[in-house]
Chains A and B, each alone.
Chain A
Amino acid sequence: MSAPTSYIPKEARPFQGRRAGLASRTLAGALDGLVLIAVLAGSYGAWAVTVFLWNPSGFRVPTPSRLLVLVAGYVVAIAYLTLCWQISGRTYGDQVIGLRVVGRSGGTLRLATALVRAVICVLVPLGLLWTAVSRQNRSLADLLLRTSVVYDWRTAPPPAHVAGADDAA
C-alpha cells in the first residue's frame, strides 16, 4: 500500500516536513509582528471606545505609558505565540508562509513548552539568527527546547504531542 496522494504542489513536496530556514521564519515573524501591532492597536481602540462610552463628557484620548505599552506588547505576544503553537503549531504568519512549529516527535507542543518557547522568542528575538548558522536550521529556542519549525503546507493539524517527548530539554 503506497502513501496516499498528496495535494501539496509538486514543487513544494520535496520541502514538506523539512526544517525551514531563516528567510521564511523571518518573514513569518514579520507577519506575526504586524498581527501583534494590529492586536495592540485594536486593544487600544477598544479601550478608548470603552472609556468614551463610559464618560463621554469627560473623554480624553488614552495616553498609556511606554512601560505599559511595552509590557502589554510582551504579554500579548507571549500569549499569542503560546496559544497558536499549542493549539495548531502555527501562528498567522506561519499559516501564510506555510510553516509549523513541532516538537521532538513531530507533534504539537505542550503548553509549557509553547510558553517557554514564546518567552525565549520574545525576549531574545535575535536567537532566530542562529537558524542561519545551524546545520539543522534550529534557532536558539529550538536548540534549548528541541523543537523545530518545518515547511508544512497542509491545513490539517499535526498529530498530538507524545507525552514526554516534547518536554523541554
Chain B
Amino acid sequence: MSSSNVPMEPVPLDSTAGGALASHRPPDQDGPETSGVMPGPAESPPDGNAYPVEDERSETDAAILWRVVRLVLEAAAGSASAVDRALTRVQPTRRIAVDVMIGGGAVAGDVIGRVAGRLADAGRSIAGAVSRLPLVEGRLGRPRALSLLAERGHRERVAAAADLQRLVAALVPAIASAVLDRLDLTALVRDRVALDILIAEVDLDAVAARIDVDAVARRVDLDAIVDRLDLVDLTNRAIDGIDLPEIIRESTGSISGDMVRGVRMHGIEADQAVTGLVGRLFRRQPREAGVDSAVAGHTAAAGQEAPL
C-alpha cells in the first residue's frame, strides 16, 4: 500500500490492554482480516510507524463490528434455543427467524465492509491529491489527519476492551455460579469420571511418606482405647496361648496326679474304642466322639479348677 511513503506520528499503544483482549480473542477470529484488531508491538512495521493506517482498516473495523454483532446474535439464538428446548418444544419458525437475522447481518457486514473500503480508497486519493497541492502540502497533510483518527480509534478500542474485561469479570462468576447451582457435580463425577484410574495414578507411597506418624500417634488417646479393651479376655487368650495351666501342673504336679491323669485319659480312649467297636458291630455311621453326648454346663469352657 501507500503507507510506506507517508510519515506518520507514533501512536501510543496500550500493550497491556491489547494483550489482554488478544488473549480473550476467540479462535475463529484469527486470520489476516483480524491482524489489525489489537496491534501490539510485534505488529508494528519496521519503519517505526507504530500504526499501519491503510485502506484495509475500514474493512477490518467493519469485520470486527460484524463479528461482535454476530457473536451477540449467536449467543441470543443459543440462549433462546436452550430455553425453548428446556421449556417447550422447539419452534422452527423462531429458529428460522434467528437464522434470517444472522444471515442479514452477515450480508450487511459484507456490504459495509466493501463500502468502507471504497470510501477509504476515495478518501486516500483525495487526501493524496490535496496533500500534493502547493501551500497545502505540509500543513494539512494526509498523515496528520489519519494519525489523529487512528489515535482516536485506538483509544476507543482500548476503552472497549477494558469495558469488555470488566463485563466478563462480572459475568463469569455469576454465570459459573448459576451453572454450578444447576448441576449435580457429585453425580457428574460419579458417572463420568474414572475415579479408579485417577486413584491408581496417585502415588500413595509418596503420600504416606509425607505423613508424620509420630504426630498422629501423639494425638491418639491411648487411655480411651485401653478402656475399650477387654483386658480379662485378652489375658485369658494369652494364658490359653502359652498353656499356663500346663506349665503350673508340670512345675507343681505330683506323681500321683500324673498317674490319675493318665488313668483318666486311658479311660476316655477305652470309651472311644468301645464306642467304635460297637458302632462297627451295629454298622453305625462313624461319629465324632461324644458329639451327641454333651451336657449343658459341663463343657471345657466351664472348667474353673484343676482337678488334681
Q: A residues touching B (Cβ–Cβ < 8 Å)?
A: 1-24, 27, 96-98, 100, 102, 105-107, 132-133, 135-137, 148, 150-156, 158-159
Q: Are B302 and A3 in contact (CB under 8 A)?
A: yes
Is B167 engaged at the interface, CB distance under 8 Å to the other chain?
Answer: no
- Interface-side segment among B4-12, B76-84, B87-95, B288-296: B288-296
Contact of A2 among B233, B261, B263, B304 (CB under 8 A): B233
A5-B245 CB under 8 A given contacts A18-B293, A97-B264: yes
A10-B274 CB under 8 A given contacts A1-B230, A154-B305: no
Q: Are A1 and B232 in contact (CB under 8 A)?
A: yes
Pick the most buried of B282, B297, B302: most chain A CB atoms within 10 A of its CB. B302
A150–B297 CA distance with the chains assembled, in angstroms: 11
Contact of A96 among B230, B260, B294 (CB under 8 A): B260
A153–B298 CA distance with the chains assembled, in angstroms: 10
Q: Are A21 and B270 in contact (CB under 8 A)?
A: yes
A14–B294 CA distance with the chains assembled, in angstroms: 10
B137 to chain A, nearest CB (A): 114
Contact of A14 among B233, B261, B271, B300 (CB under 8 A): B300
Q: Are A23 and B270 in contact (CB under 8 A)?
A: yes
A136–B264 CA distance with the chains assembled, in angstroms: 20
Q: Are B298 and A22 in contact (CB under 8 A)?
A: no
Which B254-308 residues have a C-beta within 8 angstroms of A? 260-261, 263-265, 267-268, 270-275, 278, 282, 284, 289-290, 292-307
Q: Are A7 and B304 in contact (CB under 8 A)?
A: yes
Q: Are A17 and B268 in contact (CB under 8 A)?
A: no
Q: Are B274 and A132 in contact (CB under 8 A)?
A: yes
A140–B302 CA distance with the chains assembled, in angstroms: 28
Q: Are B303 and A13 in contact (CB under 8 A)?
A: yes
Is B85 engaged at the interface, CB distance under 8 Å to the other chain?
Answer: no
A15-B301 CB under 8 A given contacts A1-B233, A5-B245, A23-B271: no
A106 to chain B, nearest CB (A): 4
Interface of B is mostly: helix
Pick the most buried of B278, B284, B290, B295: most chain A CB atoms within 10 A of its CB. B295
Q: Are A98 and B271 in contact (CB under 8 A)?
A: no
Pick the most buried of A9, A150, A158: most chain B CB atoms within 10 A of its CB. A9
Count of A-B residue pairs with CB < 8 Å: 157
14 further A-B contacts with Cβ under 8 Å, apart from A17-B296, A132-B274, A155-B306, are: A1-B230, A2-B230, A2-B236, A8-B245, A19-B295, A27-B267, A96-B264, A102-B295, A132-B275, A137-B271, A148-B295, A150-B295, A151-B268, A154-B307
A6–B303 CA distance with the chains assembled, in angstroms: 5
Interface of A is mostly: loop
B37 to chain A, nearest CB (A): 83
A9-B271 CB under 8 A given contacts A16-B299, A148-B295, A153-B307: no
A97–B267 CA distance with the chains assembled, in angstroms: 7
CB neighbours (8 Å) of B246 from chain A are: 9-10
Pick the most buried of B244, B273, B275, B284: most chain A CB atoms within 10 A of its CB. B275
Is B237 engaged at the interface, CB distance under 8 Å to the other chain?
Answer: yes
CB neighbours (8 Å) of B293 from chain A are: 18-19, 136-137, 148, 150
- 7 A/B residue pairs, CB under 8 Å, sorted by A: A3-B301, A15-B268, A17-B294, A17-B296, A23-B274, A137-B290, A150-B298
CB neighbours (8 Å) of A102 from chain B are: 295, 298
Q: Are A153 and B294 in contact (CB under 8 A)?
A: no
Chain A residue, CB-CB nearest to B245: A7
CB neighbours (8 Å) of A22 from chain B are: 271, 274
Q: Are A156 and B295 in contact (CB under 8 A)?
A: no
Q: Are B295 and A2 in contact (CB under 8 A)?
A: no
CB neighbours (8 Å) of A9 from chain B are: 245-246, 249, 261
Which 4 A-B pairs give the minimum distances between C-beta atoms? Answer: A21-B271, A17-B298, A18-B290, A23-B270
